[in-house]
Every structure is written in C-alpha cells, then in structure tokens.
Amino acid sequence: MEDTRDLLHQAELRQTDLEAQNEELRSALELLEASREYYFDLYELAPVGYLRLNRSGMILQANAAAAELLGLDRVASKPQWLYQLIVKSQLSDFGLMLSRLWRTRQAQSSEMQLLTLNAKPLWVNLSMEAHTRAGSSFLHVVLIDITQRMQAQAALLENQERFRTLTESTPEAIMVHRDGVILYANAAARLMSGATAPLRDLVGTHIMERVHPDFRQPLAQRLADFGPQNRGRTVPIQVTLLQLDGASIEAEISGHWITYGDSPAVQVAIRDVTEQRRQEQGLRIAAAAFECQECMLVLDAEGKILRVNRAFSLITGYAEHEVVGRSSALLRSVQHPISLYEAIWSEIHRTGCWMGQVWHRHKDGSPYLALGGTTAVRDAQAQVSHYVINFIDATHRQQQEQERLADEAAHRETLVREVHHRIKNHLQGVMSLLRRFATKHPETAQPLRDAIAQVHSISVIHGLTAHERLTRISVAELTGAVAREIQNLWQTPITLDPCDQAARWNLHEDDAVPIALVLNELISNAVKHGGQASGGVRVTLNQGSSPEGLNIRISNTGQFSRAAAGPGHSGLQLIAALMPRHGAQLKREQQGETVVTLLELKPPVVFIGLDPPNTGCGALDLDLVLD
C-alpha cells in the first residue's frame, strides 16, 4: 500500500513536471510564432529587396520587394542567377566584388546597373554579406532602388553639360561669381578680358578687378542691394571694364541669381558696346555735319530724295517737304546736255564717287553754280543703297575768280608785250651791228647775211607778239615779215601771194620760233639757189588738203640739186632739226624750170580762229544730280 502511494506521488510529480514543460513548450511555440511574424514583417514586408544566394550566385530566396524590383518569379522551379540581371559593362565589377567578399569575409557594397527580367533598366545600391550555417555558405544581399537618384544625377550632368555648351558657344560674355569671386568665365568672357589661358587668369580673382575705378563704388552698391531674394534679372547698366592688360572697354552688364555647385551664385551677362558707342558717336557727329553750311541730299538707290538739310532749303529755295520723294533731276539746269547726266552715272557706277561743278537752278528758275560731289553708299552686300550729294553755291566765287583771272591776264599780257618789245629792239640792235661788220669786212658778208636773216626771223616773232594776243601769231604776217627782211638783205624781189582766207590761220606760240626759222631758211635758199639770178621768188599761201591745213609754196627758177639736199647741207640740217614732229611736212620737187618747195602746216601747229583749241585733258564738269 505504501508502495502504491509512493508510485502515485511520483506519478503526480511527473505529471506536474510534464505540465510545466508543456507550458514552457507552448510558450516557446508562441514566441516562435511571434518571431516568425516579426521576421515576416522585417524581411518579407521590408521596403528594400533582400536576396539569399548560394556561393555560386544562384538566387535561393527573395523577399517581395526584391521579387517586385527584379521581376522574379518566386515559385519558379527554374534556377535564377543574380549575375544574369547585371548589365554586361558591370559584370567584371560584380565578379571582383564577390571575390573580395569570399576572400576577406567583409561586407561589400557598390552601385550597380541591372536589367530586370522584364528588360527594365534599374540602378541599385547592392550590399552583400557572407554567412556559414550548418556547414554551408550563403550570401545575404540587400538591394536599394536608386534609379531616381541616378536619373536625377544624369539629368543634372546633362543640364550642366548643356549649360556649359550654351555658355561656351554663345557670343555673349558670361561670368559666374559668388561674393565677388569669379567661379566661371566662358570663352567670350575670357576673350573680352584678354585672358591668355582658359580660366586661369580670371577664375579666383575678384570681379571688381575687371571694373574701372570710376564705376566700382556704384556697382558694389548695386550688388549689395541685389540679394539672393531677388531672383529676377537686373536692369542692364553700362560701365567701363578693364582688360587684363589694362585696356578699357565699354560694356553693358546684367545679372541674376542661379544655383552653381549646390550654392547660390550670380551669373553676369556682359555685352561689349564699345563699337556701338563709337557708332553712336559717329552718328551724332554725322548728324551735326549734316546740318553744316553745305547743301546735302540723301537719295535712295533709285535717285529719289529722302532727306535734305537746312542749307539746301536756304540755297535752293525748296522746303524739305517739296522735294522728298521726288527725283533730284528737279535741280537740273538747261545749260547742260543729256550726255553729261549719262557721264555722271557712268562715273559713279565705275568709281563710286564724283566731284566737279555744274549749273543748277533755284526754285524760281534762276541759275547758280554748284560745286561739290556725289558719293555712292553701299550695304554689307556691296550693293548701292543710297547716294549722298553735297555742294555749295559757287556762283559768286566763280565771278570773283573770273575777274581775278582777267586782271592777271591783262597784267601778264601787258608785261609780256613789253618784254617782247624790248627783245625785238635788242635783236634789231644786234642786226645793225652785224650789218656794220659786214660792210667793213665784205669777205664775211655772205655768212653774216644768213645770221642776220635768222636773227630777224626771231625778231619778227617778238615784234608780232608785242602787238598781238599772246597765244596767236598770224602765219601770213609772219611769212610776209620774214620775206621782206630777206628781200632787203639780198636785194632780190620776193612776191607774196596769200589767198583770201590766209589771215584765218594762226601759229601756236610754242611752234612760232621754229616755223619762223624754217621759213627764213627755205626762202633764203630759194633766193640763193636761183631766185637772185632769175629775178625773184614767189611765196604763195593756200588752203591745204584738209580744211584746217595751210600750204606755203615757195618757187624759184632753177634746178633742184640732190647734192644740195644731202646731209652735208647745213641749212637743210637746221630745217630738219626745227621741224615740229607733228603737224608739219616739207616737200621739194622740180616742175620744169621751177623748183617748188612746199611746207604743209596742220593742227596742232596751226589753228583757225582767235584762240588755239585746248588739247589737254581738263576736268569734265558733270552734273551733280542724278536722273
């Protein structure tokens, strides 16, 4: 009985122990279930992806986030490998990462670009740790999606590259500064500042160093008032800037706040207006010059008047509204032919300008002399866009000039006539001395007569010039004077037979003395070689083969000697040396018992009228106006 009670007591104790153990087991199961729920919350429902890989990289387990991120099939029977999802360009990096992990047993982390099973590009931060459990090794992998961050970085880099491309290619100078220190300057800013090396000479310097001292204080005050809260662009202002070599330029600057390097900074736009200011100054000067005392007209390419100045209205009598839109031909005077207007067009088209003087008419029709020029203005394509005409009323000036020239000509003519008169008297004195010497020494009479005749021929020129116009010497009078002196010297009759119109021909003053000496030699030779023996010489003046020419025919009885005409004859050598190159020709021939010498004179040696023609190339006066 006692044994039975002991066994029962031990059974009760055993039951109590079992119940206690059962309670502990039930509690452990509840804790395990709670742990499993906690693990599920941490692992399965985590916002980041978790993977479990074997040593070769095969995916053994993936949480929901990882499966969704990578597009994995969690119930697929086919093995899935992580390296198959990594882009080819980063496979080598992934291999090195695994190698370091197994070698060092230290956690590894890197940013990787993946391509999901759905071919969707993905950027992740990939962290791996190595574990060993129950004799087998495996990897825990954590995947954090950083696609948006990488896209934002790429967009930022793209924007920065776009900003750099735009600022480097723009012709406008751009600088970025923070607290006055230059952080960036584009190519245009470096060129404007005269920087010899990219950025080095500008970046890191204070922006006020590039400002002229006269503008530093107002610009510094403007920058102080322009805080980061003013996000708009400042009103452009004009300042004088300094280049690195100290040269100054005129510039227009404006600025606005930007984010540069994750911090606020001021971007300054600079435009070089040096040339613009120079052009504006030129325009102001041109506007002042336009209202000068000269008449000025601006025409379009078709010759229509666009603008005139006040001097034009004062001189011509036309108000501006009366001529604008009309052709400048309204200024023409009837004193000029159409050929002059055609000439001016040709001149302007050929050279782009013309200068001269022409007659214009006032609004009331009265004429005035305009002195000035016309200039063609061309555009960037070298096409004529405008014409500018300027002139002054030179009528009074021309009258004064004509009066002055007339007075000078009168004084000159009086003086020259007096000089010619004195020369003639001196030459006559020389001839008188020669005659006395010939009388005392008869053996010298023959050569002295020739000398006296030559001196007399020159004396005749001066005698005629002393009482005729300076530019005109009558051929008939000169021939008669030379013939009379030879007749007196040789006591041989010389008959002068001029035609009715012989008095019309005059000698040019430059050829008067040579022709006088030629006539002296020809008539003297005619006297000496037959005329003296046969009783005389005949000199005839007739019109030549052309209306402007004159023939002087000298005839005497005798025989023409070829030997006398040879190179040894001093008289003929003198004639050949004196003959003008143009406008004079000498012929000799035998007509029966008569020797005929023919001197043919043509322009420019002779001319018909009071004044010789102008053979120079004087300036052509063309009209200033355009048709």
What pLDDT digit, counting tens, does each position of 18-75 carry? 777 777 787 777 677 666 666 666 667 778 888 888 888 888 888 888 888 888 877 7
What pLDDT digit, counting tens, does each position of 269-319 carry? 888 888 888 887 777 766 666 777 788 899 998 889 998 888 889 889 999
208 and 301 inside one domain: no
- DSSP secondary structure, 496-561, as one string: EEE-TTGGGEEE-HHHHHHHHHHHHHHHHHHIIIIIHHHT-EEEEEEE-SSTT-EEEEEEEES---
User: What's the Cα-to-Cα distance from 266 to each of 223, 259, 263, rounded to whole Å?
Assistant: 10, 8, 10
Instruction: Map tokens 């009071």 to a residue.
Output: 610
Residue 123: is its pLDDT beyond 90? yes
At 109 the pLDDT is: 92
Q: What is the CATH number of the domain that holds 497?
A: 3.30.565.10
Indicate whether 463 belongs to any domain.
yes
Bond into 547 cis (ω within 30): no
d(CA 258, CA 273): 25
d(CA 571, CA 112): 122
Position 622 confidence tier, pLDDT thresholds 50, 70, 90: very low
Whether the CB-CB separation of 420 and 463 falls below 8 Å is answered with yes
Whether the CB-CB separation of 192 and 186 falls below 8 Å is answered with no
Question: What residue numbers bound the domain in which 182 lies?
Answer: 156-277
Q: Is 258 helix (H, G, I), strand (E, B) or coil?
A: strand
- Where is the domain boundary, 145, 172, 198? 145
Most confident of 128-142, 191-205, 453-467: 128-142
Indicate whether 369 belongs to any domain.
yes
- Where is the domain boundary, 226, 248, 277? 277
Distance of CA 518 to the CA centre of its chain: 61
d(CA 143, CA 47): 10
Percentage of the chain surpassing pLDDT 90? 11
Give the helix/strand (H/E) hosting 281: helix 274-290
At 1 the pLDDT is: 66
Position 257 confidence tier, pLDDT thresholds 50, 70, 90: confident
d(CA 368, CA 395): 6
Indicate whether 408 belongs to any domain.
yes
431 and 568 inside one domain: yes
At 228 the pLDDT is: 65
At 338 the pLDDT is: 81
Residues with Cβ < 8 Å from 365, sequence gap 6 or more? none
Nearest to 114 by CA among 101, 128, 105, 124: 124
Count of structural domains within the chain? 4
* Stronger pLDDT, 528 or 436, i.e. the higher one: 528
Residues with Cβ < 8 Å from 458, sequence gap 6 or more? 427, 513, 516, 517
Tokens of 88: 């080819």
d(CA 192, CA 274): 11
Q: In degrees rounded to 5, what are phi and psi of residue 378?
A: -110, 150
Helices and strands (DSSP H and E) totals, the chain: 16, 23
Most confident of 83-97, 496-510, 519-533, 571-585: 83-97
Residues in the chain: 627
d(CA 606, CA 505): 6
Indicate whether 371 belongs to any domain.
yes
434 and 574 inside one domain: yes
Tokens of 508: 């040019």
Indicate whether 223 belongs to any domain.
yes
d(CA 126, CA 90): 12
> Left if phi > 0, otherwise alpha if psi is -120 to 50, otherwise beta: which for 287?
alpha
What pLDDT digit, counting tens, does each position of 458-502 carry? 666 665 555 554 456 888 888 888 888 788 877 889 999 888 888
410 and 300 inside one domain: no
Position 227 confidence tier, pLDDT thresholds 50, 70, 90: low
Q: Average pLDDT in the 543-566 region?
A: 80
At 618 the pLDDT is: 32
At 598 the pLDDT is: 93
351 and 408 inside one domain: no
361 and 411 inside one domain: no
Indicate whether 549 belongs to any domain.
yes
Distance of CA 69 to the CA centre of its chain: 68
Q: Average pLDDT in the 359-386 region?
A: 89
Q: Average pLDDT in the 563-573 region?
A: 56
Mean pLDDT of the chain: 80
At 621 the pLDDT is: 37
Percentage of the chain surpassing pLDDT 70? 83
Position 550 confidence tier, pLDDT thresholds 50, 70, 90: very high
At 568 the pLDDT is: 47
* Longest CA span, the chain: 222
576 and 519 inside one domain: yes
67 and 194 inside one domain: no
> Left if phi > 0, otherwise alpha if psi is -120 to 50, otherwise beta: which for 246?
left
Helix axes 475-490, 509-526, angle to 10 degrees: 30
Position 597 confidence tier, pLDDT thresholds 50, 70, 90: very high
In DSSP terms, which residues pair with 49 in a beta bridge? 143
Nearest to 506 by CA among 469, 544, 553, 545: 469
At 244 the pLDDT is: 84
451 and 306 inside one domain: no
For residue 428, the 8-state DSSP code is H
Residue type, 32: L
What pLDDT digit, counting tens, does each position of 204-226 carry? 888 888 889 988 888 888 777 77
At 124 the pLDDT is: 92
At 571 the pLDDT is: 63
264 and 336 inside one domain: no
Whether the CB-CB separation of 596 and 269 falls below 8 Å is answered with no
In DSSP terms, which residues pair with 360 in a beta bridge? 332, 368
Q: How many CB atoms lie within 10 A of CB 526?
A: 26
Q: What is the CATH number of the domain that holds 241?
A: 3.30.450.20
Nearest to 207 by CA among 272, 268, 271, 274: 268
* Stronger pLDDT, 316 or 575, i.e. the higher one: 316
Indicate whether 326 belongs to any domain.
yes
User: What's the Cα-to-Cα distance from 66 to each of 126, 135, 145, rounded to whole Å?
Assistant: 12, 26, 10
Distance of CA 492 to the CA centre of its chain: 80
Nearest to 556 by CA among 545, 541, 540, 579: 540
Residue 237: is its pLDDT beyond 90? no
At 421 the pLDDT is: 58
Residue 120: is its pLDDT beyond 80? yes
460 and 561 inside one domain: yes
At 619 the pLDDT is: 33
Residue 609: is its pLDDT beyond 70? yes
452 and 580 inside one domain: yes
Indicate whether 132 belongs to any domain.
yes
Nearest to 478 by CA among 450, 499, 456: 456
At 170 the pLDDT is: 82
End-to-end CA distance of the chain: 160
